[in-house]
Amino acid sequence: MELYFLGTGAGMPARHRNVTSIVLNLLPERGSIWFFDCGEGTQHQILRSPVKLSKSEKLFVTHLHGDHIFGLPGLLSSRSYQGGDTPFTIYGPKGIKAYVDMSLQLSQVHLDYELAIREIPSEGGVVFEDESFRVEAAPLDHRIECFGYRIVEKDLPGKLQQEKLHELGITAGPLYGRLKQGQTVKLEDGRELHGSDFVGPSIKGRTVTILGDTKPCGNSALLAEGADVLVHEATFGAEREDLAGAYDHSTTEQAARTAAEGGVGTLIMTHISSRYQGEGAERLLEEARAIHPDSWLAEDFYSHAVPRRQS
């Protein structure tokens, strides 16, 4: 599991930062990648990255401001040309379906894959769940309806303790699979083996929280609680807290407090105003690390592997 940042700027493209798009690389876990937002120029950023558009499976939209969705029609079209023929699902606020449908209709784009669009109710909730992952959405505090997402990897089964089975004279075979599933099996000699006796403790899943644009709010804290990685906007430095509040954005210190108070592992700040470059960007990082030491400032093409935290 790895986060990859295609765009980390705020508002409009800049020379050193494109607008928002984040990839969650789940190739090892499920053979696919998920997008979070798709600002203008995202497909151009992909060309300069290791991201394989044909491997994309889902796209989660936080809100309908242009710097988060203007790259979407082009990305959907390019996916067909780059070999993407598997189903693709978009999740987002009310209005995302009308935007996508109208864009594809007017440009007469033909997609070679099944496209599904799921609009999220205003109160949020669980938007996706299967045997491996659950994705929850909750509304944030921004000028228009905006969501944050909490991606939860479900716990993995513990490892089969093969050495204990070897000591009992039991060699590898179909029996191992049944025991790993926790089943009770009866041997030909009458002995019963309980799977729970031969499987180690479960492996805790990881949690990644990705927030859309927001000023500090209760749902930011709820989505972030205990996350291994929190991706939080930090449009402004601490000196512009008033401006951040006026435009429903956050500062570095506010993002760091959300991380620290929520017991987050790593904070990654993004959606950075173009006014912060060089020493200005370094100062943003210093402000956050003064509150939450494990903080990082994302740049375009920055990647971060999501480790399993020790329990």
Is 65 annotated as a binding-site member? yes
Confidence class of residue 191 from pLDDT cuts 50, 70 and 90? confident
Is 67 annotated for ligand binding? yes
What domains sit in the chain, N to C, each tagged with a CATH number? 2-156+202-305 (3.60.15.10), 162-197 (no CATH)
Q: What is the mean pLDDT of residues 236-261?
A: 96
Known catalytic residue at 112: no
Q: Given its phi and psi angles, is residue 309 left (phi above 0), alpha (psi -120 to 50 degrees) or beta?
A: beta
Q: CA 173: distance to chain centroid?
A: 38
Residue 176: CB partners within 8 Å, gap ≥ 6? 160, 162, 165
Considering just the CA atoms, what is the radius of gyration of the chain in Å? Answer: 22
pLDDT in tens, 37-59: 999 999 999 999 999 999 999 99
Find the helix or strand (DSSP H, E) in which 207 lies: strand 207-211
pLDDT for position 108: 94
Q: Does 110 belong to an annotated binding site?
A: no
Give the Cβ contact number of residue 159 at 10 Å: 13
Q: How far apart are alpha carbons 79 and 43 in whole angstroms? A: 9
What is the number of residues in the chain? 311
Q: Which of 67, 101, 197, 294 is catalytic?
A: 67
Question: What letter does residue 190 receive in the DSSP assignment?
Answer: S
Paired tokens of 94: 């009310």
Q: CA–CA separation, 99 vs 217, rounded Å?
A: 28
73-110 pLDDT, tens digit each: 999 999 988 888 999 999 999 999 999 999 999 999 99
pTM of the model: 0.89
